[in-house]
Each structure stands twice: as C-alpha cells, then as structure tokens.
Amino acid sequence: MKQPRPMEDAARARDILLRRAVLAAVLCFLLLGAVVARVAWLQVTAHERFVNLAEQNRTRIEPIPPARGLIHDRNGVVLADNAPSFQVELVPEQVPDMEATLAHLARVLVLDEADLSRFRKALKSGKSFDSIPLKLNLDEEEIARLAFERPRLPGVEVQARLTRVYPHVERVSHVVGYVGRINEREMQVIDAEAYRGSSHIGKTGLERFYEDRLHGKVGYRKLEVDAHGRTLRVLEEVPATSGEDVHLTLDLRLQAVAEAALGDFLGAIVAIDPRNGEVLAFVSKPGFDPNLFVNGIRTGDYKALIENPDRPLFNRALAAAYPPGSTVKPVMGLAGLEYGLITPEYRMFAGPHYQLPGQDHKYRDWKKGGHGWVDLDHAIAQSCDVFFYDLAHRMGIDRMHAFFSEFGLGRPTGIDLPGEVSGLMPSREWKRAARNQIWYPGETLIAGIGQGYMLATPLQLAQMTATLARRGEAVRPHLSRDAVMDPLAPIKLRREAYWDVVLGGMDHVINSDYGTARALKGGPYRMAGKSGTAQVFTVKQSESYDEKRLSRKLHDHAVFVGFAPVEQPRIVVAAFVEHGQHGSSTAGPIVRRVMDGWLLGDFELKAAEVNDKAETD
C-alpha cells in the first residue's frame, strides 16, 4: 500500500508562482515594447513612405513632355516643325504580365524587332511608373483596333504626341539635322528627370547643338485612379514649358539658289556676311531626308544611304577637308609682303616651271609657256604658280604655318554646329609628330599653292576670305541670330597698304583683261575673288594632265572664293565643286549666281520653288 506524498512547502510554491508571474510580465512588456516600437516606426520614421505608397494606390504621376522649339530661317520660314501623331505607350507598374501584353499587342499592331528592342532597353533603364512608348505614328486602323482591345490591355494607352517634321527635306538637312529616339548610350548621360516622358533628342546639326534650348521643361499631371489603374480625375497639373524657338541667319531663298547653282555637281557652298559672321547659305550636296530618322529609320533606307557612293549623309561644307588650291595665294602674297620677302613693286620672271637649287625635279606651272615677268598683282590675278613656288621656298613652311593660322586655316571656325573638322595647316613639327618624318623643301613649294598636305573646309575658306575682305577684321561664322560667339583678334600688318595690293589682285582676277575669271566681269556690282583647283591625284613628271581622257571621278575639284561689292563687302561666298575641273569656269559662275541672289534679290523664282517643295513634301 502506497504512502501518501508529503505536502509541498507553501513558501516554495509561492516562490515558483512569483517567478512565473515576473517572467510573464517581462514577456508582456517586451511584446508591448515591440508593438510600440513598430507603431512608432510606422508613424514617424516610415510615415512618408507609406503615405506615398498609399497615395500611389489611388494616384499616378504622369509626365507631360514639352513641345520642342521650332527652327526658323531669317525670314520666319519654319525649317523644323512639330506635327500631331499618335503612339502606343505602356506603364510597366500597371501591366500585370509584360510578355503576355507584348504578345497581345503584336497581334493587334505591326511591331518589328526594332520597336520591341528599343522598348525593352527603355524598360530596363526607366522607372516603373513612367510611360514608355512602344510604337510611334499609329495609323487610323491601328488606333481603332487598340480601342477595341483596350479593356483587355491594362497599362496600355494611346497618347497624342507631337512629332518632328522637316518640311523642306533635303534643302537644309545638313544644317538643321534631325532628332531621333533616345538610345541606351544617351540614357546614361542625359538628365533622366528632364527627359521624363520624352522619347526624342537632337542627333545632328542644329537640333543637336541647341538641344538644351529646343527641348523645353517637362511638366506633370497628378491623376486619381481606381484599383484597376483607370483614371478617375485630374488632381493637379503643372504644364510643360515649351522649348525655345531658334531663329537662324540662314535665308532659305538663298539656300535654294545655291543648291540650284550646283546643278548636277556634288559639292558645298558657304555664304556669310563678312561684317558680322552671319551664315546666309550653307549647302552640302547631296542632302538627305531627315524625316526618315525621326521615328527610327528602316534598315533598307539606312543601307541605301550608307552605300550611296555620293555620300548624302556627309556634310561637305563642315567636315570635308580638301586641298584649297590657289585660293590661298592672296594670303601667301600678304605673308610675303609682311615678312619683307617681296614688295608691291617686286617682279620676277615666271617660266613654265620652277626648280630648287641643285635639284632636277621641275615644279610645273599650270600655264605651259609660263607667265613671263609678273609682280604680285599679276601673280594673283593670273594665278602664277612659279611666283608662289619661289615665294614659298624663301618663306619656309614654319612662317607659312604661323601666318596662315591667323586666317583660321588648320583649326575649327567655332561655328554653332557639331562635327566641324579642323583641316590641316602643315608644319615641320606636325609632320614629325604625325608621320615621324622630316619636312622636305619640295613640300613647302606645293603648300605655297594650296596643295600637298594642306587641307581646308569650304567653311574655313569662307572665313579666310571674309578676313581678307575686311582687311584683317576676323569674324566667327554662326547660324543662330542670337548666338554668343567669342571675338577673334584682328590681324595687324606693318603697313595697311599691303591690304590694298592683295585685294587689288583679287579684284583684277575678275575686273581686268588678264585675270583668270575675267568672264565674270560686269553687272551692277563689282566682285573680287580667287579661283583654285584641288588635285585629285598627282601627275608624274613624265606625264601631262589630259582631262578629256580621264573619267569624271578623276577630274580635279574646282574651287572659287569671292566677295562683293568690292568697296563695301556684304557677302562672301566659297564654292567647292567636286570634279568640276576649273575654278574660274565652273565654280566662279556658281559664286556669282549666289551673289546675284543676295545683292540683287534674284531669287523670286526660287522662293516659289521653295514653297512648292514644302507643300508637295
């Protein structure tokens, strides 16, 4: 029979009960503290975040892209415009299944791989609440199909946007440039907030150079939405600020005259006002249709442009560096006077060729029988090579480099366009650094007539001629009427009379009975200029240049620079005609035609053609 268990000690039982009560109290206190801490964190620390999350459940911020500023010529003609179009956009956070939605849209719209690729790249770099365009320029049928499918496509919207339009197509394509869709590389460098809701950015020309002015400032619209993301009402709206319009110095009428003057030739023409540097015409032929690039150029169209042997995408006025030929001879003569190597009265006998002392190589003159006795005036007017061979030999390449650089050769002009090349004004130091070779005396001779390593753009030749016409008062070419350009230091000579001698020679190129371009003489204003020929290939000593036996692509390039009126110049024109053979007979009349347009207002017919072109295109 079991013995009854002894009664537990009452004091011990109370002690156990007390410990358990204390433990329970501590646990309750800790749990209460955690709750209080969590509530404090929610109410204080994370208050703004959760308020925003709650707000985002009922509201949505929609960016309002700004209207891009327009580009006008000097007379107010619109060169870059905005036109309404419709595009389909997706807001990622409102799309439950992105791949399924894209597959659905591919059955409704015609989507190519480029559209999908651009969208996916933007999707990775953009924010979930930003509207991302998928396809631009929807037609009416596509809009109707999307409206029918809209209830089954959450997060998909059709938006009315403005798209860029270039009404004059090729005529100003190299000046105005074009806009295009923002690519992945550009997304890494632009201000994402400034471009929220925007899909395009300036790619080339003025569209790129003045992007900050043209783009404008993004606005936003705060919308109240239901649980499915549908808009209920607009709570707040801050309108976008449109981009600034850019007004150019360019005259579209003169641009048309210059383009027509080139005829079937390829080349470039630059006309500027020597008094202030305003660019009046800026032609690179052929041009291209910039409208093709706005919403993504098709592969076939781009391939056709790239493979075109005439290189329509190449801006010849700005980025093509050609040998300037004899157009630099007035500057050479001025340098000879300034360095004291010749005087206005200095004369030399210029035979059919020139030889360096102790050498057999003959540097030929363009005139087979030579020019006989010539001074600087006749040497410029008749473009006597032998005179300038001799002057170059005595001057040396380093002094030539220093003097020509003052006229802007060998460095960019600083025009308000991207992509300008510097050309090349060679020197001993340049050849040693670039080619690790010494400079040869024969190279100095051919540089003295603008051949060899010397290279210049048509824009640089226009600036050089403007500096001559203004007797050393240099100007920087610009296209925007309110462009702020750094001033250029004037060129000071030991004697002002030197300008008279050289400018007199340029005047006699045309207005004498011995000048190379005397066929241009006459008319209601007096014009001065200088012809030039840029060699395409070097003729060997044992050979002669026979243009009749050569294909056109091997013909020399024709160059001509001029200014008018001689007494008070108001226009300078530089024309470069590829494979035009002769500066005087080919490029000279082109320059004269452009001057007639500006000085005589002889472009009324061309203005009508401009309007017709804008309407039909």
SS3 sequence of 340-353:
CCCCCCCEEEECCE
User: What does the pLDDT read at residue 6?
Assistant: 52
**Number of other residues whose CB lies within 10 A of the CB of residue 357:** 6
Q: pLDDT (tens digit, 9 = 90+) per residue, 176-197? A: 999 998 888 888 888 888 888 8
- Region 536-551: mean pLDDT is 50
Cite the residue boundaries of each domain of the chain with CATH code 3.40.710.10: 252-612
Q: pLDDT (tens digit, 9 = 90+) per residue, 546-587? A: 555 545 566 788 999 999 999 999 999 999 999 888 889 999
User: What does the pLDDT read at residue 56?
Assistant: 58
Which range in 47-61, 206-220, 541-555 is most confidently predicted, on average pLDDT? 206-220
At 94, the amino acid letter reads Q
Structure tokens at 377: 């005036």
Distance CA 392, CA 376 (A): 13
Confirm whether 117 is a catalytic residue. Answer: no
Strands (E), 457-588: 528-534, 557-564, 571-577
- Region 373-378: mean pLDDT is 97
Q: pLDDT (tens digit, 9 = 90+) per residue, 587-616? A: 999 999 999 999 999 876 444 444 444 333
User: What does the pLDDT read at residue 607?
Assistant: 41
Q: Is 228 exposed, middle or buried (0-12, 13-18, 19+ CB in 10 A)?
A: exposed
**Number of other residues whose CB lies within 10 A of the CB of residue 255:** 28
Among 131, 173, 199, 326, the active-site one is 326
Cite the residue boundaries of each domain of the chain with CATH code 3.90.1310.10: 61-247
User: What does the pLDDT read at residue 337?
Assistant: 98
- Region 285-292: mean pLDDT is 96
Dihedral sign computed on CA atoms, order 492, 497, 498, 501 = positive
Dihedral sign computed on CA atoms, order 481, 482, 483, 487 = positive
- Region 472-476: mean pLDDT is 95
Distance CA 466, CA 474 (A): 7
Class of domain 252-612: alpha beta
Distance CA 462, CA 560 (A): 10
Q: Which residues pair with 271 in a beta bridge?
A: 281, 573
The torsion angles phi and psi of 207, rounded to 5 degrees, stand at -60, -35
Q: Is the pLDDT of residue 485 over 70?
A: yes
User: What does the pLDDT read at residue 598?
Assistant: 97
What confidence tier does 229 reach under pLDDT thresholds 50, 70, 90?
A: low
- For residue 107, the surrounding DSSP H or E stretch is helix 98-108
What confidence tier does 136 reach under pLDDT thresholds 50, 70, 90?
A: confident
User: What does the pLDDT read at residue 544?
Assistant: 52
What confidence tier does 227 reach under pLDDT thresholds 50, 70, 90?
A: low
The better pLDDT of the pair 76, 146 is held by 76
User: What does the pLDDT read at residue 17?
Assistant: 81
pLDDT, mean over the chain: 88
What confidence tier does 356 reach under pLDDT thresholds 50, 70, 90?
A: very high
3-state DSSP assignment of residue 227: coil
Cβ-proximal residues to 52 (8 Å cutoff; 6+ apart), any chain: none
Task: Please state which of the ranges 345-354, 370-379, 602-611 shows the lowest mean pLDDT.
Answer: 602-611
User: What does the pLDDT read at residue 185?
Assistant: 87
User: What does the pLDDT read at residue 2?
Assistant: 53
- Region 5-21: mean pLDDT is 73
- Region 350-358: mean pLDDT is 94
The better pLDDT of the pair 221, 606 is held by 221
User: What does the pLDDT read at residue 144?
Assistant: 87
Q: Is 359 exposed, middle or buried (0-12, 13-18, 19+ CB in 10 A)?
A: exposed
Class of domain 61-247: alpha beta
Structure tokens at 472: 């050393």
Distance of CA 25 to the CA centre of its chain: 78
* DSSP structural state of residue 89: E
Return the closest-CA partner of residue 266 out of 557, 596, 572, 613: 557
User: What does the pLDDT read at residue 181?
Assistant: 87
Return the closest-CA partner of residue 266 out of 296, 250, 286, 245: 286
User: What does the pLDDT read at residue 123?
Assistant: 83
